Structure 1
Amino acid sequence: MNKRYRSFGEFYPFYLSQHQHPVCRQLHFIGSSLVLLLLGVALVTQTVWLMWLIPIVGYGFAWVGHFVFERNQPATFQYPLYSLMGDWLLFAQMLKGGCKR
């Protein structure tokens, strides 16, 4: 992962290459769904401490996918913003039925 990506469009194919195992993608989807659920519950109930769980849940599911199923290092460590953007784009594509590889 020595290449420096200058744009998200350039980065996203690499991101997808690091998320080929279907269980890894499913874990990302579950984590992202739970992040949205936690955010919604925290906002509706005004329970601020739930916000602390968001990165734990989001990254927890994703990192299990990487370390156990993909057997690679999450791109988050080197490309945090692009990886976060990639997570949400992958989530949206999976909602639409795409990215099933």
Structure 2
Amino acid sequence: MSIRIHTQELVKRYGKRTVVNHASVEVKQGEIVGLLGPNGAGKTTTFYMVVGLIKPDEGAVYLNDTDITKLAMYKRAQLGIGYLPQEASVFRKLSVEDNISA
């Protein structure tokens, strides 16, 4: 079975500012996709909504045909959607063990 992640009309607002405005993206198994745009265009925010770090104000995220919009990040990870941050640790002043425990 081919795996597909897609978003439908994602919207994210912070106060009166709309930072993602009806973004729809489709990524099929084996594809490599980049989100391009200037700083502040909503690329990171869109990615964070896909992996579950933040919730969209509108729209949905699907894995194949299953709506995963309301699933927590750890539940999405169990389905194979992961996020590896660029930073070496989440909390720089904590040890590796303490970061894992946090």
TM norm. shorter chain > 0.5: no
Q: Is the radius of gyration larger for structure 1 or structure 2? A: 2
**Which has the larger helix fraction?**
1
Q: Which has the higher strand share?
A: 2
Which protein has greater RCO, CA pairs closer than 8 Å, 6+ apart? 1
TM-score scaled by length of structure 2: 0.27
Q: Normalising by the residue count of structure 1, what TM-score does the alignment of the two structures yield?
A: 0.27
